[in-house]
Amino acid sequence: MTNEYRDLSENVIIVTGANTGIGLETAKELATAGAKVILACRDEQKGKAAEKIVDSVRSFSAQYMKLDLSDLSSVRLFVNEFKSKYNRLDALVNNAGLILQTKELTKDGFEKTFGTNHLGHFLLTNLLLDVLKKTPEFRIITVSSLAHSFTGFDMNDLNFEHRPYGNGFPAYG
């Protein structure tokens, strides 16, 4: 079997939600290709465990950094810490997401699913654009689903104040 990976040994890549599922598998594959992978996760214990898993694929290729996308001040702190350590960002993989069974609000007052899955990533991407643009051939990858096609989107009720929250799927969609 031949190596089908592009050499990413000079690349720095952030993967949000890299502690489980698609995010963890993405981080492992990027590390296999040689990238320095920043595991941007809310839960420190799970993030550090994922760091060990990714490092086992390729030694010293992962670094956990705390990022809670439901808290916009956490997004700002993450970006400041990242920029203090790195002067390039080859790719940003916006992967983290959640679905809640009951309605919750973020610290900033937004419905938590929308605040985490969309607003947090929007702010993160915008705050990292200057670093991304300095890096040749940078990429922004956003993982999504088809859930939006099964629900309605009401710009006048993003916080689900006037319609039923249900099982959380309408907010997720």
CB 28 within 8 A of CB 101: no
CA Rg value for the chain:
17
Q: How far is CA 99 from CA 40, 43, 62, in A?
A: 18, 16, 27
Interacting residues of 106 by C-beta distance below 8 A, sequence separation 6+: 70, 71, 72, 112, 115, 116, 119
Active site residue 5: no
CA angle 82, 88, 92 (to 5 degrees): 70
CA nearest to 53, candidates 64, 42, 43: 64
Q: Which residues are catalytic?
A: 172
